[in-house]
Amino acid sequence: MILPSFGKLPLGSKHTSPRSLVMSRLPVMDIYLVPLDGDDSDNENSNSYEPVDKRENPEEGLLRRESEREAANFVAWLARAAMEFSGLEVGTPEGPFDYDQWIVHNAYDGYRPYYKLSAHDVAGTELYVSARTGEVLQRTRRVERAWNYIGAVAHWINPTFLRKNYSSWREVIWILSLSGAILASAGIFLGLLRYVNLKRQQRPGLSPFRGLLRWHHSIGLFAGVLVLSWVLTGWLGLDGIVFFSNDQPTVEQLQRMRGISLTDAAGAFPVAMLGRLGAARQIEFTTVAARPLLLVHDQAGASSRVVSSDPGIGSLRTDAVISDALLTSAVRRAWLPLNVLRVEHIDSGDAYSLRVRPFPPRGGFRA
């Protein structure tokens, strides 16, 4: 659970959408749909309903105007926050929308929808802000977008309409990669077969062909191995635990490592206690081995600290990192019946460092 302190919310705003604003004004417990002009049964005793007056009444007009003001306030706040973040003048936010070429990856799914803000600078900077958390989660520049269209987008067959459906995209890439690996293997086999036949005939050279076919055969004997390894590794990279085990922990393992829910962890830190944290750019609620913790990031974002509470006296304790004993206990809980043999501290140069989020500045922990 993350509580961002990115800028300030619009003054007086208590609703996240026009629907929530409307529902807060209506004295209803639930909404039911009723048929108009009878149902499909043509029963003579069935009730018939006349359509309501669809003209806007004063209350609806008031709600519409307040919703428009709420939306305008949020957009204005978003623009101010983006200017503060980037130090650049930005235009009117676009959105909200779910998918764009530069936020199509499934790693962005938990933060949709997004707003896009275009900065008025020479580099053509564009910022993508999550409408859920207010965080800037993507920044692109014009030259980066141009190179990525002919690079990553073309290489991974990554157009938005296909990539936004991960399962479909994975199947397409998997089939194409497998087909490429089969074709490359067939080419290498035929090339070696021609070479063996050439030597059986005791003829000199690498290829029995002439002209362009000779060049194709000679280069293919060596380049085919590179092509096969390149395509094959791409295919195995989308294995989906068919041949290799999954490198991600299961939901049950994560739950055992945490020990308690994030809701319970948040309840261990009352609002009055959070007010004693001082200046903070972002506060993350987490829990390790049933111990509620706060990860507090400073305004500059360059350093962070771990904060725990003493439920007995209501005080806060600050540490630089989570203790080895607590982490070891959490690992034992999660991966029962395995035992922890040793504990190592690793840095950002490790081959198995974190890939999804930036590596913590104080290094990591391997058990």
Give pLDDT, residue 56: 61
* Residue of 146, 155, 160, 346 lying closest to 237 (CA atoms): 155
Burial of 135 (0-12, 13-18, 19+ CB in 10 A): middle
pLDDT band for 187, please (50, 70, 90 cuts). Answer: very high
Q: 317: which strand partners?
A: 308
Q: What is the pLDDT of residues 143-153, one digit of tens each?
A: 999 999 999 89
The whole-angstrom separation of Cα 96 and Cα 93 is 9
- Mean pLDDT on 166-184: 90
Reported as a single tens digit per residue, the pLDDT across 93-127 is 888 889 999 999 988 988 888 888 888 888 898 98
At 57, the pLDDT band (50, 70, 90 cuts) reads low
Residue 40 near residue 320 (C-beta atoms within 8 A): no
Q: Are 307 and 294 in contact (CB under 8 A)?
A: yes
Distance set, CA 113 to CA 5, 78, 134, 195 (Å): 19, 14, 11, 58
The domain locations on the chain are: 2-155, 166-237, 251-366
Give pLDDT tens digits for 254-305: 888 888 888 888 888 887 777 777 777 778 888 888 888 888 877 665 667 8
Q: Comparing 276 with 59, which gets the higher pLDDT?
A: 276
In 42-57, which ranges are continuous DSSP H helix? none
